[in-house]
């Protein structure tokens, strides 16, 4: 009998003793009958969040149980799946997965790669998700509110009842990535240990916030023995004395045990702080460690070797993961192959456990043998079973008449009139396109709720003019994309009451064409760059055709809509401003434009490959006339034109647009079945800003909603910002009295009135190449 077994017997003896004390409580306690489960975590419990947002987990994930990828990084089910099943509920639908969502019995906010603390690296740099625990809480908070709004019975019946939020079970499995991220960044064991109190402080705040919103039953997993996981052992070489007799890394496991010890202490404190909460601490560490170190005893083999992977001692290669392929003579050949029998393996892909292991682990914890208090899952809502007796050592593991702009405008309109005269006979003979759907890609200029759904709702007074409440848009009302003519586009990442019958919106505020090397919290630029939006579209296209249930089928586009629909693009502005904000010069930014547009070109071609045929492409705005640029990037007097706009910034935008136009011409040659329309938004917006009074607008360089300064724009006090004064939240970022006569809404985005005016200028093709109206943008021959 080894030391671990002695500890286990001692622990079980204590459990038996305590159980005799609480048997009267257990016998008198009614089963909880949780109506819903709300889960927070990382890839150990992600049922599709990361896949929906950043690209699906490839085959052979899901092969054992689902027989196809199912958003899980596993061959089948996760522990959270067995939890839901155990309490009589369906498997949890991921909050970020808007295709055929059913949240009747809860939602899953976990995403693979998530951490408790926000990381300072991007997903593509480190593999750690931008959807950290605080973001998951923001998602939950708005889910809780918005899930009670729909009146349509179709949607209402797919959302949890209000009382489920207080009666439901709140499960947590997160923290492992905080430790491994620290190690992978170069921190020592002592440094990682020193960070644990702050990590758990963030965790505590989230539990308290959920409690503040009505959560009462909490089922909290501690973290795994990370020193026994192949991906840690492969990436962090150890000296021989640091490897235990099972092949695990002792330093890494000692950190995990310290984390768990402090997490246990925190749960004890939370019971005092949250008098109505039932908090169960679940010792997953001991169960997983026992399985790994005694795998043969339980019918498993090779516990430190990944079932699915490629090469090396642990069959794990961070560059060739499970499901990875290699192009050999034009054929994708599977390199990251699965083993023949995952049912006898512990590690699925070197990071995650197999379904067989997950099921075994769940069976150990479900009856409370590894819980504090030792209550079964079905009784985890009972606070009174948290008996007064507490032994700290128990369950632990160690001014001219016309200016140049007007002359250019007249010149452009003259050319347009001339060209229109040539093609009027063609246009007259053309039937309207009657686009059945619109699929939009972009940034905040066309985001109808993607960023809000993922990272937190846009605050009031956004939406006040038209929707009379925040509606996911960074404007007082509608955006240009809203005026196109079909029902307003639902954001792909917004899973609450989604209706994609006539298209979907993949845009998110802060998005760029090229992926950025900064995190959202560092720079404000979204991790949902254009390539990510393309991946979202790709899986939306395929998965939207799968549901057979008429409830869901009727809320998704028909297959033919993907070839008949209109593909709109409004993106690129943030690539330029991000470059300026990072310190690049105008010349350096101009030099970067070809690469930016090369990325753009690839996405258009990929959508064409998937059947897209009609493209409506906006160029970028005169960024030198936007308050947030003028406020953040001071200029010398000669660099400011007579309208107050920054000439260097506008010159970069003009160069971008010139090269975009050339690209569109080239794409017409490359994509013989595509109709590509280039829309000169720049000229329309510049005309509005520089001649605002002429069109009934005023103060074009001053934000309607903001706080202080020449431009009424303050990066730290944005539109809708509040300040706590004597315990009361006082609105500081206030809107102006009449947004209908203002151009800039918040210093970054346009007002509804300006958006509508701009749309009215472009809809008939006066600023398009070819000069075709929007309703005829499906015709290639008119080019």
Instruction: Give catalytic residue positions.
Output: 43, 349, 352
Would you give the distance in Å from CA 502 to the centre of its chain?
23
Dihedrals φ, ψ of 426, to 5°? -65, -50
Tokens (6 digits) for 700: 């074009």
Cα–Cα separations (whole angstroms), residue 590 to 175, 343, 452, 584, 656 = 43, 55, 32, 10, 7
Tokens 């990071």, residue located: 351
Residue (of 561, 762, 741, 778) closest to 681 by Cα position? 762
Cα dihedral 83/85/87/89 (nearest 10): 120
| Angle made by CA atoms 90, 96, 102, in degrees to the nearest 5 | 30
How buried is residue 610: exposed, middle or buried, by Cβ count under 10 Å (0-12/13-18/19+)?
A: middle
Nearby residues of 698 by Cβ (< 8 Å), 6 or more positions away:
692, 741, 742
| Angle made by CA atoms 381, 105, 453, in degrees to the nearest 5 | 110
Residue (of 749, 55, 97) closest to 446 by Cα position? 749
CB atoms within 10 A of CB 548: 7
Tokens (6 digits) for 599: 């990325």
How many residues are there in the chain?
783
Contact assessment for residue 613 and residue 607, using Cβ atoms and an 8 Å cutoff:
no
Q: Which helix (H) or strand (E) holds 280?
A: strand 278-282
Q: Which helix (H) or strand (E) holds 387?
A: none
| Helix (H/G/I), strand (E/B), else coil: 288 | helix
Nearby residues of 337 by Cβ (< 8 Å), 6 or more positions away:
60, 308, 310
CB atoms within 10 A of CB 329: 5
Q: How far apart are CA 775 and CA 783, in angstroms?
A: 14
| Angle made by CA atoms 266, 271, 272, in degrees to the nearest 5 | 100
Query: Read out DSSP for 717-768?
Result: S-TT-EEEETTEEEE-SBPPS-GGGBSBSSSSSB-HHHHHHHHHHHTTSTTE
Rg (CA), the chain: 28
Q: How far apart are CA 184 and CA 237, in angstroms?
A: 11
Q: How far apart are CA 743 and CA 445, in angstroms?
A: 14
Contact assessment for residue 471 and residue 537, using Cβ atoms and an 8 Å cutoff:
no
């Amino acid at each position: 009998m080894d030391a671990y077994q002695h500890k286990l017997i001692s622990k079980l003896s204590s459990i038996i003793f305590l159980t005799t004390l609480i048997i009267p409580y257990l016998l008198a306690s009614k089963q909880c009958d949780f109506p819903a489960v709300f889960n927070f975590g990382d890839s150990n419990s992600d049922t599709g969040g990361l896949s929906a947002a950043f690209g699906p987990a490839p085959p052979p994930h899901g092969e054992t149980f689902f027989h196809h990828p199912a958003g899980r990084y596993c061959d089948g089910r996760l522990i959270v799946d067995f939890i839901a099943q155990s309490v009589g509920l369906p498997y949890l639908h991921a909050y970020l997965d808007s295709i055929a969502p059913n949240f009747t019995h809860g939602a899953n906010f976990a995403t693979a790669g998530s951490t408790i603390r926000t990381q300072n690296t991007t997903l593509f740099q480190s593999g750690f998700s931008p959807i950290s625990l605080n973001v998951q809480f923001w998602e939950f908070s708005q889910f809780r509110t918005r899930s009670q709004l729909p009146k349509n019975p179709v949607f209402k019946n797919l959302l949890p009842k209000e009382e489920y939020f207080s009666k439901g079970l709140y499960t947590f499995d997160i923290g492992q990535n905080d430790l491994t991220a620290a190690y992978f960044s170069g921190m020592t064991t002592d440094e990682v240990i020193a960070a644990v109190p702050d990590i758990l402080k963030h965790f505590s705040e989230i539990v308290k916030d959920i409690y503040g919103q009505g959560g009462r039953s909490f089922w909290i997993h501690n973290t795994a023995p990370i020193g026994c996981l192949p991906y840690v052992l492969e990436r962090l070489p150890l000296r021989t004395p640091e490897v235990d007799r099972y092949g695990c890394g002792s330093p890494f496991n000692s950190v995990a045990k310290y984390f768990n010890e402090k997490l246990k202490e925190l749960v004890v404190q939370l019971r005092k702080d949250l008098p109505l909460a039932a908090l169960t601490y679940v010792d997953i560490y001991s169960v997983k460690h026992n399985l790994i170190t005694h795998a043969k005893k339980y019918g498993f083999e090779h516990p430190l070797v990944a079932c699915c992977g490629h090469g090396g001692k642990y069959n794990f290669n961070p560059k060739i993961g499970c499901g990875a392929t290699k192009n050999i003579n034009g054929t994708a050949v599977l390199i990251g192959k699965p083993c023949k029998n995952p049912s006898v393996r512990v590690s699925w892909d070197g990071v995650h456990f197999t379904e067989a292991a997950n099921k075994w682990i769940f069976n150990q914890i479900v009856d409370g043998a590894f819980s504090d208090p030792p209550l079964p899952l079905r009784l985890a809502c009972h606070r009174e079973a948290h008996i007064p007796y507490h032994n700290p050592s128990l369950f632990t593991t160690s001014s001219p008449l016309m200016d140049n702009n007007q002359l250019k405008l007249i010149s452009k309109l003259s050319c347009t009139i001339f060209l229109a005269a040539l093609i009027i006979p063609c246009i007259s003979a053309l039937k309207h396109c009657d686009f059945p759907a619109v699929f939009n890609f972009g940034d905040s200029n066309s985001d109808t709720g993607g960023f809000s759904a993922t990272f937190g709702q846009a605050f009031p007074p956004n939406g006040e003019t038209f929707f009379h409440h925040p509606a996911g848009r960074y404007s007082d009302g509608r955006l240009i994309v809203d005026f196109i003519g079909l029902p307003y586009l639902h954001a792909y990442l917004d899973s609450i009451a989604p209706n994609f019958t006539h298209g979907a919106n993949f845009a998110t505020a802060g998005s760029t064409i090229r992926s950025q090397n900064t995190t959202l919290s560092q720079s404000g630029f979204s991790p949902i760059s254009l390539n990510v939006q393309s991946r979202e579209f790709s899986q939306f296209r395929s998965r939207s055709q799968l549901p057979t249930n008429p409830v869901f089928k009727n809320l998704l586009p028909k297959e033919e809509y993907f070839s008949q629909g209109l593909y709109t693009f409004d993106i690129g502005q943030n690539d330029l401003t991000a470059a300026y904000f990072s310190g690049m010069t105008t010349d350096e930014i101009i030099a970067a434009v070809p690469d930016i547009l090369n990325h753009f070109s690839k996405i258009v071609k990929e959508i064409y490959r998937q059947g897209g045929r009609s493209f409506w492409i906006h160029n970028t705005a005169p960024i030198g006339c936007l308050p947030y640029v003028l406020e953040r990037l001071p200029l010398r007097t000669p660099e400011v034109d007579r309208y107050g706009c920054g000439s260097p910034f506008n010159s970069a935008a003009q160069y971008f647009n010139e090269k975009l136009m050339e690209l569109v011409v080239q794409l017409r040659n490359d994509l013989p079945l595509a109709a590509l329309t280039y829309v000169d938004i720049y000229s329309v917006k510049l005309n509005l800003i520089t001649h605002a009074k002429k069109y009934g607008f005023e103060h074009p360089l001053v934000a309607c909603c903001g706080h202080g300064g020449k431009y009424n724009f303050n990066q730290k006090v944005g539109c809708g910002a509040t300040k706590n004064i004597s315990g009361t939240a006082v609105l500081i970022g206030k809107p102006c009295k009449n947004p209908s006569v203002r151009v800039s809404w918040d210093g970054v985005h346009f007002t509804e009135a300006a958006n509508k005016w701009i749309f009215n200028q472009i809809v008939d093709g006066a600023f398009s190449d070819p000069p075709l109206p929007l309703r005829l943008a499906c015709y290639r021959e008119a080019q």
